[in-house]
Amino acid sequence: MVFPLFCVVGLLVLLMNEVGLCNGGTTSGFVRPLEKTVDMPLHSDVFLAPPGYNAPQQVHITQGDHVGKGVIVSWVTMDEPGSSTVLYWSENSSYKNKAKGNFVTYKFYNYTSGYIHHCTIKKLKFNTKYYYEVGIEHTTRTFWFTTPPEVGPDVPYTFGLIGDLGQTYDSNKTLTHYELNPATGKTVLFVGDLSYADNYPNHDNVRWDTWGRFVERSVAYQPWIWTAGNHEIDFAPEIGETKPFKPYTHRYRVPYKASDSTAPFWYSIKRASAYIIVLSSYSAYGKYTPQNQWFEAELPKVNRSETPWLIVLMHSPWYNSYDYHYMEGETMRVMYEPWFVQYKVDVVFAGHVHAYERSERVSNVAYNIVNGICIPVRNQSAPVYITIGDGGNIEGLATSMTEPQPNYSAFREASFGHAIFDIKNRTHAYYGWHRNHDGYAVEADSLWFFNRYWHPVDDSTTTQG
Ligand SMILES: [Fe+2]
């Protein structure tokens, strides 16, 4: 009897794992006490509506153009539409500029939304603090943001990473830890699953409103870059709601047209020295689909001399060694992984699995159905894959892991937390993951990133677990 070569290789790998010759990375020894993860009640202070007639609430901002000179300001009024105009002025000027927006409403089963305003401010100066005022004509509220520096290869910039946040006591801890982290993230890359309203009967959209009020304390002051997760789909034919992403798309706007995308679920932005591509795990991505066509045309546009750091955000991870959502990202991996390797993506952030995991630089692109080469291998052109779906939502932690820890997995831990991706220059970025059980500055996992374009070979990364 002849064993196919891949069976022999597979057996060898298994054997090496058994005797400890293959280092499958580290499974953290930190075991979080298992507590029930529950949503904060409706009367919680973090959900309080601001006082005053028709006061703007759920204020949030995101990037409004391709390079960071635009900001989309969104908010909700409850009593009447009121004005969709934003007044804004730079720190050193008292002259108030005006930008006009508009508002939308939507119904979801027996819920009717407030008046959801969206206003894009354009042609701002780079690296400038602006104040902005909303609620003109009734109760006004004033916030501020700082625009990013002009796009360039050595521009330092600090991103926060949050995913699968929800609105539990643990979610509140995650957000607080992010806010008080001395690394001071300037923009959040949010990897999907926002409110978890769909866990309530009839997807009670009141929980979209409470989530909007909860996160306002951060997202009104710094942009959050949105990725759509499965909890944004809100597909509920049993109550007649058959249009996917209805609450999400009415409430959260992204600058997708600025990157020639035809839908808000996949798009790109430049920010400082980073080129960020957002993909949709829940939109068609196969050959000939709009997302595929856009993504294929998008990658050659990335000029690594201008934006050395190529970051991809998606919801469903490709390299996941938890039992939860295992291999759900596989079909997209098969479609897109060769491009990620070809274009040397630096890092991929995903959520979905409610835990933390960081991969080695691996790829799995050699398999062609008949050759049996289907085990991920180290590849210096491949990204690091990071699962950061540990925001702390109502569904609780993913604690069950595949054993033994696969070789592609460098570090994993079932805890809630957030991360910081701190770009220093064109060659170096420092990454740290922070669990909620530690002090604000403590890193439970960290890694120096050497840029794949400017530093393609040396992989002398330092890690701690
Ligand atoms: Fe998810």
pLDDT value for 18: 34
Judge whether 311 and 344 are in contact, CB under 8 Å: no
User: Please, what is the end-to-end C-alpha distance for the chain in angstroms?
Assistant: 45
pLDDT value for 8: 44
Average model confidence (pLDDT) across the chain = 93
The number of beta carbons lying within 10 Å of the beta carbon of residue 465 is: 17
pLDDT value for 14: 41
Q: Is the pLDDT of residue 309 over 50?
A: yes
pLDDT value for 461: 52
pLDDT value for 253: 98
Instruction: Determine the average pLDDT of the residues in 187-214.
Output: 98
pLDDT value for 82: 98
Q: Give the pLDDT band of residue 459 (cuts 50, 70, 90).
A: low
Instruction: Determine the average pLDDT of the residues in 405-424.
Output: 97
Quote the ligand 1 centre to 153 CA distance (angstroms). 33
Q: Give the pLDDT band of residue 282 (cuts 50, 70, 90).
A: very high
Angle at 370 between CA 365 and CA 372, to 5 degrees: 60
Q: Is the pLDDT of residue 465 over 60?
A: no
Q: β-strand 115-121 against 102-104: which pairing, if any?
A: antiparallel
Q: Which of 75-84, 387-396, 407-416, 452-461 has the lowest mean pLDDT?
A: 452-461
- What ranges do the domains of the chain cover? 155-192+265-464
Quote the ligand 1 centre to 70 CA distance (angstroms). 29
Quote the ligand 1 centre to 337 CA distance (angstroms). 21
Q: Give the pLDDT band of residue 32 (cuts 50, 70, 90).
A: confident
What is the distance between the alpha carbons of residues 366 and 338, in angstroms, rounded to a whole number? Answer: 9
Q: Which of 66, 325, 354, 418 is catalytic?
A: 325
CATH class of 155-192+265-464: alpha beta
Q: What is the pLDDT of residues 93-133, one digit of tens each?
A: 989 999 999 999 999 999 999 999 999 999 999 999 999 99
Active site residue 315: no
pTM for this model (two decimals):
0.94
What is the distance between the alpha carbons of residues 299 and 303, in angstroms, rounded to a whole number? Answer: 9
Residue type, 121: I
pLDDT value for 455: 81
Quote the ligand 1 centre to 317 CA distance (angstroms). 10
pLDDT value for 457: 67
Who's near 288: CB < 8 A, 6+ residues apart?
Answer: none
Quote the ligand 1 centre to 314 CA distance (angstroms). 10
Quote the ligand 1 centre to 375 CA distance (angstroms). 26
Quote the ligand 1 centre to 266 CA distance (angstroms). 17
pLDDT value for 37: 87
pLDDT value for 36: 81
Instruction: Determine the average pLDDT of the residues in 182-196.
Output: 98
Instruction: Determine the average pLDDT of the residues in 394-401.
Output: 93
Longest Cα pair distance anywhere in the chain, in angstroms? 85
Residue among 418, 383, 381, 412 nearest 158 (CA) = 418
Judge whether 267 and 112 are in contact, CB under 8 Å: no
- 3-state secondary structure (DSSP) of residue 8: helix
